[in-house]
Amino acid sequence: MISAVVPTYRGAERLARNLPTVLASLQSSGRPWEVVVVDDGGGGVEAAWPGVSVVHLPENRGYGPTVNAGAAAARGDYLLVLNDDVRLQEGTVAALCSLFPDPGLFAAVPSIRSPLARTGDEAGKAGEWAAGLLEIRELPAAADPRPTLYPVGCCYLCPSALFRDLGGYDDAYAPFLWEDVDLGYRAWRRGLRVVHHPGATSEHEGSATLSEHRTLEERERIGFRNRVLFHLRNLQDPGLRAESLGALAAFALFEPRRERLEGLSDALAAFSVRGRRPEEGLSDRELLERCTGLR
């Protein structure tokens, strides 16, 4: 069974616009399915379609915790994680399913056509280690499935057991941004793969929830906080950590943007509470080479 998990915040109109395409794609896959819409404390969302249930969170918790709540309620063997502003083509779910079962595969990401993407496809991501930080760039278009750094949070399919085994999204990144990079990095660390499947297609209206409810300054501050936190939480290689801390010192010394300095401060505070992840699996250098030929 496939469980589509759709986090939403005041997204009744977006769901009305987009969810029917998800239902059609699920139905077309020929597999049993359910849809778990998770209302992230915004209210106004009802189970208006057959096969769709709604989990109501009492308060706004952000993207990661909301998806985790949906995954906890889901009954399927596979999770189809979707933003409420994503539309699927009829064959999208079937095309993603065709890559499973594969014991080494954590997640399959369709092409995500988006106005946010410079290449037109938001899904293919490469990482480059540069000047003490992991820099993420979009991969150029491709015809065949290929590795990608992380399952972009707006649309991917993964086995529910692996999602839970990895611990789902780390709520340290709440309310949003970098939780998907973190999840993908942890999957690669375990020796699992994340694949971008250009043969499956989706369309993304473009971070509608973020842009409607958060200012640019808030997004910059939170995004930078989480970018820093990702490095502090995940890097295990002592040399890479030292480089990364050097880079953070450079931000403290020279960064002119207030939002970034506040984000750095927030990240240091969060790190002092959350700490580093335990060492396990592939080294950072092996991992980076394996997922995108980094470094």
Which residues would be at the binding site for other proteins (CB under 8 A)?
130-133, 232, 238-256, 261-262, 264-265, 268, 271
Nearer to other proteins, 100 or 251 (CB): 251
Minimum CB–partner distance for residue 288 and other proteins (Å): 16
In whole angstroms, what is the distance from residue 195 CA to residue 289 CA? Answer: 15
Minimum CB–partner distance for residue 218 and other proteins (Å): 17
Q: Which residues of 102-117 are buried (b: 16+ CB within 10 A; e: fewer)?
A: eeebbbbbbbbbbeeb
Total residues belonging to the chain = 295
Minimum CB–partner distance for residue 247 and other proteins (Å): 4
Minimum CB–partner distance for residue 215 and other proteins (Å): 20
User: 269 to each of 134, 157, 219, 258, how far by Cα in Å?
Assistant: 21, 33, 18, 17
CA 29 centroid distance within chain: 23
Nearer to other proteins, 120 or 223 (CB): 223
User: 130 to each of 5, 236, 240, how far by Cα in Å?
Assistant: 35, 17, 10
In whole angstroms, what is the distance from residue 56 CA to residue 41 CA? Answer: 7
Pair of tokens at residue 53? 């249930």
- Report H helices in the chain: 12-28, 63-73, 92-97, 160-165, 179-189, 208-213, 216-234, 238-254, 258-274, 284-292
Pair of tokens at residue 50? 């057959």
Minimum CB–partner distance for residue 274 and other proteins (Å): 13
Minimum CB–partner distance for residue 238 and other proteins (Å): 6
Give the torsion through C-alpha atoms of 35, 38, 44, 48, to 10 deg: 10
Minimum CB–partner distance for residue 285 and other proteins (Å): 13
Nearer to other proteins, 201 or 226 (CB): 226
In whole angstroms, what is the distance from residue 54 CA to residue 7 CA? Answer: 10
Minimum CB–partner distance for residue 239 and other proteins (Å): 5
